[in-house]
Amino acid sequence: MTTVGFGDFYPSSLMGRIIGLISSLIGVFLMSMLVVTLTNLLDLGQHERNLFMITEKVHLDFEKQKISYSMLRKYMKLASNYKKEEKKGILANKNALRNQKYDFLYDYYLFQVNKTKIESTYPPYSIFDAINENLNLLEEEFQALETRQSETGALLDKISGKMKL
């Protein structure tokens, strides 16, 4: 579609060359349209990107919770073992305690890495925060309108009561 062949057959008349040129340009145009269409089909839209970001953030938060739980569990075990060893008066299992300490520190490192990843991927103020703010402002305006409506209704009742007298 985008070529005119190997050169063994070629148009010799002016009209044949014009038709060959036009067919080559149409072929290039059709191929470019195919590429653009495929790119648009495979590209994520804005809503899909937002959903992907939310899903990734939920996943990272879940990972952070798992690491936090593991870290707390290991810290409590480490603290408990230290107390047991202190009661004995001498730290007999120094290597075991040291390994538990390094295991805890590794989980702490993973927690910090995950926290940094979340903070760098999702800025403190994102589009979702802006949407939430706008929703809060709309809710406040709606409540203010309801208050004005009830005040106006009370005022109209008062005026209609005076007019009857």
**Does residue 91 surpass a pLDDT of 80?**
no
| 3-state SS track over the chain | CCCCCCCCCCCCCHHHHHHHHHHHHHHHHHHHHHHHHHHHHHCCCHHHHHHHHHHHHHHHHHHHHHHHHHHHHHHHHHHHHHHHHHHHCCCCCHHHHHHHHHHHHHHHHHHHHHHHHHHHHCCCCCHHHHHHHHHHHHHHHHHHHHHHHHHHHHHHHHHHHHHHC
What digits encode the pLDDT tens for the residues 6-23? 667 778 899 998 998 898
Q: Above pLDDT 90, what percent of the chain?
A: 11
- When pLDDT is cut at 50, 70 and 90, the band that residue 99 belongs to is confident
**Does residue 165 surpass a pLDDT of 60?**
no
What digits encode the pLDDT tens for the residues 52-70? 877 887 887 788 788 778 7
The whole-number pLDDT of residue 123 equals 61
**Does residue 132 surpass a pLDDT of 80?**
no
**Does residue 110 surpass a pLDDT of 70?**
yes
pTM of the complete model: 0.41
Burial class of residue 104 in the structure, from the number of CB atoms within 10 Å of its CB (0-12 exposed, 13-18 middle, 19+ buried): buried
